Structure 1
Amino acid sequence: MTSESALPVKESPVPGSGFSRDSLRRANLISVAWPELKIQQKASSFFFYEPTLLLVLSGRIEFSHVATSYELNTPTLLGVIDQGVDADYVKYPANDASPFRSLFISLNSDVLDGFYQHFPQYLAAARKNAQITTVELLSDIQDSVQDLLATLQNPLMSDERVRLRIFDLLLVLAEQRVHFLLPHQQGIFPRLSKLLREAPDKGWTARLAGDALAMSESTLRRRLRQEGVRFEQLLLDIRMHHALMLIQTTHWNLTQVADACGYKSVSRFTERFRYRFGNSPAQLR
């Protein structure tokens, strides 16, 4: 059985950087973060835009998805969350002296699509509907995660090698009969959400987004309407997701966080954040 001390944990921040030393990202492949929260925090209808792996290192998180409850409360249990899961959650710190801490790994949907192209034998076992699954963090899964993080930490490692490490982790999970949902790539929603998530600080309008996607604003809005999506609501949701992650993983002041989320007014940003999550950004620090 794996102990918490053997797991990857958030190190002290790099002075002046804002981010923890271990916040890692490879464009169009993967992002890794170590969120921390000192108080209880909850959210309703939290949408997972990418396939996600979640490991709680301290405290616990409770999910509610499609009338089913899930709990991650030990560093020996890995959460596997499909793209498209829309869940309510509550995060709880371990106690007053120990914040909620987790390892949050987001996989690019194209990487998962590539995995199923390389290993089509697992496609038949892929889930048909977006789900949350928990799996015991056995030694082979832990070793694969550690190898992936070590590869990400080495700037000399190519994207191709990072991709292979991700594939290895997906193969290890498949051996435990855990298979991500095949990413949804049809329609305008995946393209638009990816565009907005890549630059949440940009002054997006439907017209600018339409230009970036080679279509008119009216065409974009019509296609979104057909998919039951409003441009303004999607943009707000993506910005608030980004804000919540920055609050939990950086030491930026609120002006910096607001600016990174496309807000020039800190008060306006704070108002939006409080309305979405029930707490002001400062309360979560």
Structure 2
Amino acid sequence: MGPDLLARLSRFAARDLRPGAGDRPHRPALWAFVAHDCERLAEMRIERTALIVVLEGSKELTDPSGTTRLFPAGSAMLLPPGWHGAVVNDPGSGGRYRALLLEFPAEMVRRLLRAHGNDGLTSRPRPSDWRVTLTPVLTDAIHHAAVGLTADPPLPTKLAEHRCMEVLLALLEDGVWWLGPVSPTGTADAVRQLMRTQPGMAWTAERVAGALNLSAGTLRRRLGDEGCSVRSILTEERVAHARDLLEREGLSVQEAAEACGYANRSHFARRIRTAVGVNPSTLRGR
């Protein structure tokens, strides 16, 4: 990234504005990390898709395998949910470490992948490097999103989210496919990833098993060992999808029911009430 592009983003990291405990809103968020002393975090876990741009100093990431990667000023990384390892934020000779972190909630990433596809996600390995290229298009998108997230008075929520969706689209266009969880930690996790982009499909144990190159019996046994089933996972994913459609996109209850694979609106309403304790109509426009 050239000096001009770096300067455009630097103004959003004038002071340390990092999240504290519980500071994870149900929407995209922009954080700034500023440090004058070397910071060493023995264990860090990423819960939401995180795009990190190093503005000054350098960042080191060490995976559980022991592999260490260095990210100098002007570089960026995309860490997916579930990443964990050791982190070092080093001010270096300049005496200051600065970085921007743009976080995306799971439902936003789910909408993007559902709309634009993530073919083969469950079968792909972890990327060899979490690095992303800060092209002018991506940097423009990050800058546009940062302006929207820090606007005073605040932009309408949907407009700010639209700007952040541009960042995700730019990443996807550049081949950054690991926006969502990668390298499933178990069969249940793999099933969730498979269903997440098509929650309205009539998933059966046979269909899921075929997609994961397993027999239906093996699939049921493994899920049973993990304390769940195809039906329970499908219900969880459909409820999450329904909340997204009702709360964020303002669809009608009938439209949300159909998008989630429920032909019977009453059945859909019962599922939502059981999961979240309120009627689907109550969720609209929250």
TM-score (norm 2): 0.54
Inter-CA distance 110–183: structure 2 relative to 1 (3 Å threshold): farther
Paired positions, count: 181
Indicate how the Cα distance of structure 1 residues 181 and 169 shifts in structure 2: closer, same or farther if over 3 A, else same: closer
Deviation, structure 1 residue 52: 0.6
Aligned to 1:50: 48
C-alpha distance in 2 between matches for 1:19 and 1:64: 24
| Larger Cα-atom Rg | 2
Cα deviation per residue 1:84-135 (whole Å; 9 max; x = unaligned)?
011112111133x631111111111121112112222x34357845665112
Q: Which residue of 2 aligns with 1:31?
A: 29
1:50 CA displacement: 1.0
Residue of structure 1 equivalent to 2:194: none
Aligned to 1:94: 92
Please name the residue that 1:124 is paired with. Answer: 120
Question: Root-mean-square deviation (CA), in Å?
Answer: 3.3
Pair 1:8 & 2:6 matched = no
Partner residue in 2 for 1:115: 112
Partner of 1:71: 70
Aligned-partner residue type, residue 7 of structure 1 = L
> In the alignment, residue 5 of structure 1 is paired with which amino acid?
A
Give the match for residue 192 of structure 1: none
Moved over 6 A (4+): 184-187
> Which AA in structure 2 matches 1:63?
L
Within 2, Cα distance between the matches of 1:98 and 1:72? 16
Q: Which amino acid aligns with 1:73?
A: P
**Can you list the C-alpha shifts for 1:173-207, whole angstroms capped at 9, x where unaligned?**
111111234348978xxxxxxxxxxxxxxxxxxxx
1:147 lines up with 2:117 in the alignment: no
Counterpart selection for 2:175 from 177, 181, 191: 177
| Alpha-carbon spacing, 1:183–1:63, altered in 2? closer, same or farther (3 Å) | closer
1:157 CA drift (Å): 2.4
1:137 partner amino acid: L
- On the 8 A contact 2:78/2:179 being kept in 1, the answer is no
Q: Tell me if the contact between 1:48 and 1:85 (Cα under 8 Å) persists in the aligned partners.
A: yes
Q: Which residue of 1 aligns with 2:164?
A: 166
Q: CA deviation at 1:162?
A: 2.1
Q: Kindly tell me: are residues 49 and 107 of structure 1, through their superposed partners in 2, closer, same or farther at Cα, counting changes over 3 Å?
A: same
Equivalent of residue 82 in structure 1, options 80, 83, 90: 80
CA apart distance, 1:11: 5.6
Matched-pair contact (CA < 8 Å) for 1:54–1:102 = yes
Q: Is the 8 A contact 2:51 2:102 kept in 1?
A: yes
Unaligned runs of 5+ in 2: 190-225, 229-286
Q: Mind listing any 5+ residue stretches in structure 1 that lack a counterpart?
A: 188-224, 228-285
Distance 1:111 1:51 in 2: 10
Contact 1:113–1:183 (Cα < 8 Å) also in 2: no
| TM-score between the two structures when normalised by the length of structure 1 | 0.55
Native 8 Å contact 1:126 1:182 kept in 2:
no
In the aligned structure 1, how far is the partner of 2:121 from the partner of 2:161? 21
